[in-house]
Amino acid sequence: MTSSRLSDWVKKNLHIKLGLETAVSISPRTSQRWLNILGLRFGKFMKGLYNDGHEREDVVCYRTDFLHRMSTYEKRMIQYEGDFMEKEIFLVLEEGLRPLVLVTHDESCFGSNDGRSYCWLDEDNKQIRPKGNGRSVMVSAFLCECHGILRLTDDLKSQHPEIPDDSTVFLKPGANGDGYWKNCDLIAQVKDKAIPIFKLLHPDCDGLFIFDNSQNHHAKAPDALNANKMNLKNGGANQRLMRNGWYLVPDGTRVVQKMVCDDGRTSKGLVQVLEERGLWDASLNVKKARELLSKQPDFAEQQEWLEETVLGAGFCIDYYPKYHCEFNYIEMFWGAAKAWSRANCTFNFNCLFPKLWTVFL
């Protein structure tokens, strides 16, 4: 939409739309004022879609709660001062409390054609660069303030050869590469690398693992209790087998309930699960049956996959507010790493991975 196009449309169509006898003419300047009144804003056209949700009601509420939680966490965190943050401030804690170490996580992609945009140019012999970012390498990393990248020291490597020495994961995304990063990959990284390394680096501390507030990070385990994935009848196509549930009988005893039929291969449906709990009503449809089962304690208390992994290891977990990547100090690390990779870009994918590896070493 431009002001001149609006002026032309008014002159050609407005009198017809409103049934006027003569055409109406407006200047481009009047068109600009009307475009502004209609809520449009003049600016550069950008590819893609960006929705600024910084001041959205739910985002503001979560941000406020997050800051309150962080103020509580900080009372147990070691503070640093000095020009290079080299001086540790002595921490005094109540008896029974241990220091809390914040471990932050994020992923970033490095493109093989992502070179410097500004450089010295020879106008008579301009370089022709490849189009697009080319093939890329995705990096998933954990950082803490005291060690930087979460990795073992040389001494700990020799003492614990059974533990991975680095928590960082490199992935060549794409159908012809290593596939695509999924939540199960992050769980494996947390469980098999980040947590064992953290325990060796911080034997006398508790951990606070903070992740971005993305939908992928809030996924549940494949066998998690999820009423919305269940059919009315037993079995069905693409039904995943769920873990055991539980319910309370009138005397308060907890009864374990299998979510799989006796054959061990068929998942139970809503009807059988609710009947065994004494909650089935023939008037219930699929939607109402799912709502009823979702309110049962075992289903309502079902944790997300990341929560199960981190909390199960005895650590704390939290998520940064949406639209607020500045909370995550790993972004400064990514900025430095990308500045290095752009300065050393050769526009060759086979050179990208070895160069990135030297950066993270």
User: What is the model's pLDDT at position 50?
Assistant: 66
Which helix (H) or strand (E) segment holds residue 53: the answer is: none
What are 108-141's pLDDT values in tens digits? 999 999 988 887 778 888 788 888 888 899 999 9
User: What is the model's pLDDT at position 124?
Assistant: 83
Say if residue 232's pLDDT is above 80: yes
Domain boundaries, the chain: 3-37, 57-114+134-219+313-360, 227-300
Tokens 């911080």 label which residue? 202
> How many other CB atoms are there within 10 angstroms of residue 3's CB atom?
19
Single pTM value for the model: 0.83
What are 245-299's pLDDT values in tens digits? 999 999 999 999 999 999 999 999 999 999 999 999 999 999 999 999 999 999 9
Tokens 């939607």 label which residue? 287
User: What is the model's pLDDT at position 49?
Assistant: 66
Burial per residue of 222-235, b for 16 or more beta-carbon CB atoms within 10 angstroms, e otherwise = eebbbbeebbeebe
Nearest to 230 by CA among 218, 220, 244, 240: 240
Instruction: Give the whole-angstrom CA distance, residue 355 versus residue 346.
Output: 10
User: What is the model's pLDDT at position 238?
Assistant: 80
Residues 6+ positions from 52 with CB-CB distance below 8 Å: 323
User: What is the model's pLDDT at position 300?
Assistant: 96
Residues 6+ positions from 111 with CB-CB distance below 8 Å: 133, 134, 135, 136
Say if residue 47's pLDDT is above 80: no
CATH of the structural domain 57-114+134-219+313-360, one choice from 1.10.30, 1.10.760, 3.10.540, 3.30.420: 3.30.420
